[in-house]
């Protein structure tokens, strides 16, 4: 069994993203402090220019540290840390401790609709021979169905593509849709953080609360 370490940051760790108008030095400092706090190698941190798509890349030591046009990273390389940045979207961590394979995924509405969770698990299965029953999935703090209101058009997409059970009024259940998509391919070991980024008052950034907010992150490392 591989020793895998994952965690989600919060507001106390500061803004982790360069793309939200923060001063570069602030983000550098926040990332450096994070690497000390959780003892990972900052030189081996891989993150994404996230675009709300469904491109999932397998990375290793030779990969660039910033992967363009990407919303999911997979690796079996020890010592690399994969990072996803969010504020309301779901940060999803995947782990197969037997095979030593991990993934970090950015699942907002669009990527969820484009089945990024399934694409990630299927790549772990196809490229690394992971068994669906060995894949553990952790969905981090994100906007819940309590708060995730959308327009009628988007609501109808959910209704026709995924089912009425994921709608209540004009609110949709992204965690539920991702869970169903994973269950459909045999991935059932799923835990969901019981924390809504918008209404919980827990220290997480929420884009729906403040459009100029920072980003927190989900990170995973094979030790
Ligand atoms: Zn809520």
pLDDT tens for 160-169 read: 999 999 999 9
CA of 82 to the centre of ligand 1 (A): 27
pLDDT digits (tens, 9 = 90+) for 122-132: 999 999 999 99
Domains in the chain: how many in total?
1
pLDDT of residue 186: 98
Question: How far does the centroid of ligand 1 lie from the alpha carbon of residue 44, in Å?
Answer: 34
Distance CA 63, CA 45 (A): 11
What does the pLDDT read at residue 208? 95
Task: Tell me the residue range of the domain where 180 lies.
Answer: 4-222
Q: Tell how far the Cα of 141 is from the centroid of ligand 1, in angstroms.
A: 11
**What pTM value is reported for the model?**
0.97
Residue 201 Cα to ligand 1 middle (Å): 9
Q: Rounded to 5 degrees, what are φ and ψ at 47?
A: -135, 180
Task: Determine the Cα–Cα distance for residues 149 and 154; give it in Å rounded to an integer.
Answer: 10
Ligand 1 centroid – CA 149 distance (Å):
10
pLDDT at residue 187, as a whole number: 98
- CA–CA gap between residue 171 and residue 31 (Å, rounded): 34
Between the CA of 147 and the centroid of ligand 1 the distance, in Å, is: 4
Separation of 194 CA from ligand 1 center, angstroms?
10
Q: Kindly give the parts of the chain with pLDDT less than 70.
A: none
CATH number at residue 179: 3.60.140.10
């Amino acid at each position: 069994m591989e020793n895998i370490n994952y965690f989600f940051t919060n507001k106390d760790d500061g803004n982790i993203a360069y793309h939200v108008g923060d001063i570069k030095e602030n983000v550098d400092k926040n990332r450096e402090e994070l690497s000390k706090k959780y003892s990972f190698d900052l030189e081996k941190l891989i993150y994404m220019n996230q675009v709300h798509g469904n491109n999932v890349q397998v990375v290793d030591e030779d990969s660039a540290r910033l992967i363009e046009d990407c919303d999911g990273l997979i690796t079996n390389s020890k010592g690399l840390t994969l990072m996803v940045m969010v504020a309301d979207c779901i940060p999803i961590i995947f782990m197969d401790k037997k095979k030593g394979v991990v993934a970090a995924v950015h699942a907002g509405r669009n990527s969820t609709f484009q089945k990024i969770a399934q694409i990630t698990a299927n790549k772990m299965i196809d490229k690394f021979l992971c068994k669906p029953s060995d894949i553990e999935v952790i969905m981090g703090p994100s906007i819940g169905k309590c708060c995730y209101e959308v327009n009628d058009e988007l609501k109808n997409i959910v209704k026709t593509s995924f089912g009425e059970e994921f709608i209540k009024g004009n609110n949709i259940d992204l965690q539920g849709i991702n869970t169903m998509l994973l269950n459909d391919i045999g991935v059932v070991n799923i835990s969901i953080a019981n924390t809504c980024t918008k209404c919980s008052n827990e220290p997480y950034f929420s884009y729906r609360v403040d459009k100029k907010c920072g980003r927190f992150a989900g990170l995973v490392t094979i030790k």
